Amino acid sequence: MSDSSPLFMAGANTVEEQRARWERKRSRTAKELLETEHNYLEQLDLVVTFFVTILKAKGTLKSAVLESIFGPLEPIYSASQVLSLHLERGNLALGLENFCQNLELYGQYAENLEEANKTLNEQLRKNKSFRRFKKLQESRPQFQGKKLEDLLPLPLQRLHQYKHFLRDLLENTSPDSAECQKLASMILPIDAEAVKSVSEVSQWVQDIIRKRENSLQLLRVQKLLKGQKTQVLTPGRWYIREGWLLVVPSKGEELKHRMFFLFSDIFIATKPCHPLHLLNSKKLACQAVYPLHQCVVDKVFGHTKSQGGLLSVSLPIPASGHISGECHRVDQTLFAFQLSFPHKTLLLMSSDQEDIDDWYRSLTAAVR
């Protein structure tokens, strides 16, 4: 078949059209990366110029406190300036190469962010001059109503954006494009390495954020419980979910509303403290802590569309809408599942099918 045959020409046109589409998408992505980088720099500049630089000059905060609040923000800002300059000049490959060398700064910044917020709040409570200074700086028109607290998480948000920009650039680079030939296959390895590096650091940052959020959840639940006998704050423990469920008592008593907390290693049953208690009226009393490694999760009473079984019961409903108080009885369909432990069996129910399904899935996954 000659190179001038209609079939060959059609194939060549298709390849050229694909290359053109790649180039258009790549150009749009590069343009958007540059535009958003400029916006990111403008916001970082607010923090560096109106806070870090002036605070260093004034000595309002000790250097250790300043470092605790802002961490490696200045070198992150400098790295972004360099990347922006390369992008403006069309030096995408060189810009990405330099950028990858500074990715560790973002991980360090993420690790420090919780301490930064803690130190910032502490200084706002104790340091009157800093509190006044912060309010004055935030009132500048350049801030457009933004607070320092709004600007500090920016590097972590930007890191997530970088990951998607670089993936788009890599996916829309033709393997045999003129640019790649010109750079002697330089840009593709750099793009690929950039995507890999950003993804790894992004995952590192996400892990830090997840651990911080988990710690806050553990602390919240610990504060909800009366007393300190039940230790929720334990290294390696992960919060999964919580919610109200109905418990079927073993002695044929009425169903009881109980609040349950599911963690990666334990399942906690609680009940509300007396509403008139002076100290604990808004707290929960721990009734039992069940280790999940001894737990078996079962469906009960046949199969339905729900993960749990289906029951029809006469249920006491508080007339006031609260957990305790005068009750009347109504017939209600409930969904149920059973938890079996060596010395205890729990039959748990809810009228919400989606809720009971989620409990069943969460518990099944946790005990594996």
Q: Tell which wins on pLDDT, 195 or 139.
A: 139
205 Cβ contact list (under 8 Å, min separation 6)? 106, 107, 110, 156, 159
What are the φ/ψ torsions at residue 183 (nearest 5 degrees)? -90, 5
CB 285 within 8 A of CB 274: no
pLDDT of residue 198: 60
Tokens of 18: 């694909």
Tell me the pLDDT band of 5, cut-offs 50, 70 and 90: low
CB 208 within 8 A of CB 71: no
Max CA pair span of the chain? 94
Global pTM value: 0.56
Average of per-residue pLDDT values in the chain: 80
What are the φ/ψ torsions at residue 174 (nearest 5 degrees)? -65, 130
For the residues 8-25, what does the mean pLDDT come to?
65
pLDDT of residue 275: 80
Query: In this structure, what DSSP letter does residue 138 have?
Result: H
Judge whether residue 22 has pLDDT over 80: no
pLDDT, tens digit, 9 for 90 and up, residues 25-83? 878 888 899 999 999 999 999 999 999 999 999 999 999 999 999 999 999 999 999 99
Tokens of 108: 């360090």
pLDDT, tens digit, 9 for 90 and up, residues 148-182? 999 999 998 888 888 778 777 766 665 554 444 43
CB 79 within 8 A of CB 71: no
pLDDT of residue 262: 96
Tell me the pLDDT band of 335, cut-offs 50, 70 and 90: confident
Tokens of 52: 């870090």
pLDDT of residue 20: 76
DSSP string, 250-287: TTS---EEEEEEEESSEEEEEEEPPTT-TTTTT-EEEE
pLDDT, tens digit, 9 for 90 and up, residues 242-296? 999 999 887 767 888 899 999 999 999 999 998 877 787 889 999 999 999 889 9
For the residues 79-88, what does the mean pLDDT come to?
92
Tokens of 11: 């194939």
| Cα–Cα dist 280/64, whole Å | 40
- H/E segment holding residue 327: strand 327-341
Token pair 């980088």: residue:
37
For the residues 182-190, what does the mean pLDDT come to?
36
Judge whether residue 189 has pLDDT over 50: no
CB atoms within 10 A of CB 260: 22
Judge whether residue 324 has pLDDT over 70: no
pLDDT of residue 173: 62
pLDDT, tens digit, 9 for 90 and up, residues 193-246? 555 566 666 676 677 778 878 888 998 999 999 887 889 988 899 999 999 999
Task: Provide the 3-class DSSP secondary structure of residue 106.
Answer: helix
Query: In this structure, what DSSP letter does residue 209 have?
Result: H
